[in-house]
Structure 1
Amino acid sequence: MIEKKPIVRSKSRAYLGKQYYTYKRYLKWIFKSKNFSRIHSEKKLEYKIFTHKTPLLRKLKDVDMQLQYNKITNLKIAIDKINGIIIKPGEIFSYWRLIGKPTYKKGYVDGLILNPDGSFKAGEAGGLCQLSNMIYWITLHTPLKVVERYRHSHDIFPDAKRTQPFGSGATCVYNYLDLQIYNDSEVEYQLNLSINHEFLYGEWRSNEKGRYTYEIYEKEHFLTTGWWGGYIRNNIINRRVFNMFGEEVDDEFVTENHAIMMYEPFLEESSIAVEEVAAGESAHNEKL
């Protein structure tokens, strides 16, 4: 189903809707019998399953660079809540349950946030989407199951220097747009994260050597026009599964994406005013 142009709601309607979904999530956390992961360990598990890094600072048109430096501050605080988390068999990793509500009182500062209409603004704890994007991407390279993930509603940057398929990120809005990962295997997995002035690093480790490797790819890609005159970008993402001998044993559906494009889709490369853009950093009132 192709996504329609979002409805722009009044401030009061948007506020009430946010409160409804936030407290609905709180009730689920209280009354649902999910076994959420809670244990952290400074000692890394023995086997590295997959690792990845993404650049922290990008030259974006009409975006104050200070917001990106602030993003680094926000990421450091959030990473401290997640780094080293162990997901035991039968447990669920919840992004927001571990991080908690990101507020100024906890040290978070203004970062880049995207409004529902695709415009930018400075906002509390902006930038945390890069962390959820990272965790989602590296999880796709493991046997762990993503049981809750939300796609980005807008495609705000052209594909300049994109290294991952369009739509391979995961948006985050506290606390009702969560990223949840379930361990249905018989081994433990550990998420390790770190950051410096240049890159965000992420890896999954395990107490047993991995049996499979994965290749994430875009299976289908096409543009459609919305009734309002804009463009919608659509694709399907699959992953190929390889055994220890390098033989392909499966080709799995991962997700489909539909996002409103915030730029002309047929720009010449020389006219693109964005540099060093990584995949999947768009959102709906999200913490880019």
Structure 2
Amino acid sequence: MLAFPIRPHSDGRPQVMGIVNVTPDSFSDGGRHASTQAARDHGLALLDAGADCLDVGGESTRPGADPVSESEELDRVAPVIEAILAERPHTPISIDTMKPSVARAAVHAGASLWNDVNALRADTAPETAMELGVPVCLMHMQGEPRTMQAAPHYDDVVNDVARYLGQRAGVLLATGFDRNLIVLDPGIGFGKTLEHNLQLMASLEHFVSLGLPVLFGASRKRFIQAIDDRAEDAMDRLGGSIAVALHAARAGCAIVRVHDVRETVQALKVQAAVLNAGA
């Protein structure tokens, strides 16, 4: 099976993960790539734009989103993974799902990382991860998508999120899972206020210091509008998205998950060149 890139590039910049949402209701691009053909074409375009890997998801996790059935999610993602790999067989693909059965089917279709916003809290999820043997990304989310933004509260958001991720990693390690295959994601926007998100982003180096690769996903998210009230449309958040991607790179994050691949790749390459010239 193709190894998924979970470490930064040799010049220090993170891997760029392009987002392929096969959903009708994702917050930024819901419905734009809902068919297999459209999602395949979008994925190939992201690769041509410089993406190192792709993240394919068939269930929206935006605030207030309703869950979809296992069969519907499978029908959305498996054909897309197969179609992309038929055209580009060496593409590292992540499956973005909370369901162990969907993760299993996606890995059998060719996915090589399980990206779980639920941090393997579903029944049998840790055991399924052990069975599949691919890298797993554990993300922090307070509550569930339908309710997570109702009234998020933390005693200390950085320590609370770090403690949670450590606990979830511990559950996975208890199954015998390889520590070198675990990735952490602090979950920007998942059950957090603007202040919580800013505190987490200001403390990314703390998460990197835990010794596991960190995935950072903040592309086009609503906190950007909270800072720039003119950015009501998700498509109008490119500047903010690149700003935080550059910050994540400087903090040592291994992967950035983005919608705007070409612009992000260019910004990361330029920043890496400048930083390395001064090293």
> Normalising by structure 2, what TM-score?
0.25
> Normalising by structure 1, what TM-score?
0.24
More relative contact order, 1 or 2 (CA 8 Å, 6+ apart): 1
Q: Going by fraction, where is helix more abundant, 1 or 2?
A: 2
The structure number with the bigger radius of gyration is 1
Q: Going by fraction, where is strand more abundant, 1 or 2?
A: 1
